[in-house]
Amino acid sequence: MRFLSIIVSTLFWWNSGLAQDDGPANYTDKASGIVFNTWRPTKDLTFGMALPASALTVDATEFIGILTCSSPTGKATGWCGVSLGGGMNSNLLLVAYPQQNTILTSFRWATDYHLPAAYTGAAKLTQISSTINATHYSLLFRCQNCLKWSQGAESGSAPTSEGYLVLGWCHATSSPVSGTCPASLVVRQHNDQGIFPARFNSGAVNAAYASWAAKATNTVTGSCGNAATPGSSTSTRVTSTAKTAPMPTPTPASPGSCAKTYTVKAGDYCYLIATNNGITLDQLYRYNPALVCNPLQVGAVVCVQGR
Ligand SMILES: *[C@@H]1O[C@H](CO)[C@@H](O)[C@H](O)[C@H]1NC(C)=O
Ligand SMILES: *[C@@H]1O[C@H](CO)[C@@H](O)[C@H](O)[C@H]1NC(C)=O
C-alpha cells in the first residue's frame, strides 16, 4: 500500500533538490540493443529500466537496469545508488561503485537513517556489461526479485502496473571503505540524494525482454576472501564507522522552505523528533537532506515542518 498522493504532493511542494517530472527519455544501448526508459534526477546520475512486455498491466518481478554515475574526473571513485521504493528506509537499496576495472554492487537495507546493512532477501543482480571512463561508470544489469522486498517485519514493492514508480537516488564522490568485498561494504554518508517520480511510457516494455535478460550472464562478486559471508549483517561495522563518518551540520532544505525548526537536545534520536512533531521519519529526512541521525548532533537545527 502506498500513500501516493502524500508522496507526490510532498514532492511538489518540497521543490529544492527534486527532479521535475519531465517523463522518461527513451535510450537504446548500442552494444546490446536494449531499449530503456531513463530518468536523470541529477547531473550525476541516470537510471533506466527495461521491463517485460506485460509489466504495465501485471506487476513485474524483475527489470533490466542501467545505472550511470559521474565520478571525479580521472579518478573512477565514489559510489551511487537507487532506492526502489523512494525513501531510504525499509526499501530495497542498490549500491554500485567502480573497483579497479569492474563495477561492484550490493543490495542494502536501512531501518533508520544509519548507514544501511546488507539486504538478506532474494534479490539477484547479474551484469550484462559495465563501462568505466574518465568521468563516469555505467552498469547494465538484470535485477531479479527486485521489485518486491522484505526484511525483518518490513516489506514493500515497486508496482510497475501503476505506470510509474517513486524512486530515490544518492551519489557520493568518495569510494566505499573496504570496497573489494561488496558483502562487507562500508560507505560514508552520500554527498547528494533525492526522490524522483519515474514515469513509464510504452518504450519501457518490450517483447524482446526475455532475449535481453538472457544476456545477463556475469555474476560479479568482488574479492571477499574466506572471511565474508555474502549477505551477512554488517550493522556492527556500519554503526562504528558512522562515528568517524563526516558529519555535515544538518540544515533545513533551503531557507524559506521550512515552517518550523527544532534544536536537537542530548538524548534525542531521529524517530523521537519525528514522532514528537507529528511527522514520519521519511518526512524528517526529506525536510533535512543532509541530516545524519547516527550520531545525531546536539545543537543541530532540524526542520520539522515543511511549507
Ligand atoms: C563516459 O561515459 C559516459 C557515460 O556512459 C558517457 O556519457 C561519456 O560520453 C563517456 N565519455 C567519453 C569521453 O567517452
Ligand atoms: C518512446 O518510445 C515509445 C515506444 O516506441 C514511443 O511511443 C514514445 O513516443 C517515445 N517517447 C519519446 C519521448 O521519444
The region, left, alpha or beta by phi > 0 then psi within -120 to 50, assigned to residue 182 is alpha
Q: If you measure from the C-alpha of residue 201 to the centroid of ligand 2, how many angstroms do you get, rounded to a whole number?
A: 7
Q: Are 169 and 83 in contact (CB under 8 A)?
A: yes
Residue closest via CA to ligand 1's atom 6 equals 136
Which triple of cell numbers denotes residue 165?
514508480
DSSP-assigned letter for residue 178: T
Q: If you measure from the C-alpha of residue 23 to the centroid of ligand 2, how many angstroms do you get, rounded to a whole number?
A: 11
**DSSP 3-state of 10:** helix
CA angle 293–295–299, rounded 5-degree value: 85
| pLDDT surpasses 70 at 279 | yes
> 240-274: per-residue pLDDT in tens?
222 223 333 333 344 467 788 888 887 777 777 88
**Which residue type occupies 63?**
F
Closest ligand 2 atom to 24 CA: 13
For the chain, strand residue ranges (E) read 25-28, 35-42, 45-52, 62-70, 79-83, 93-99, 102-109, 117-118, 124-132, 136-144, 148-151, 154-157, 164-172, 192-199, 205-206, 258-263, 301-306
Lowest mean pLDDT among 173-182, 217-226, 243-252: 243-252
| Mean pLDDT in residue range 51-68 | 98
Query: What does the pLDDT read at residue 64?
Result: 98
Is the CB–ligand 1 distance for residue 71 below 6 Å? no
In the chain, the largest separation of any two C-alpha atoms, in whole Å, equals 57
User: Is the pTM for the entire model greater than 0.75?
Assistant: no
User: Which residues share a beta bridge with 302?
Assistant: 262
Between 237 and 176, the higher pLDDT residue:
176
Q: What is the mean pLDDT of the chain?
A: 80
Query: What does the pLDDT read at residue 242?
Result: 29
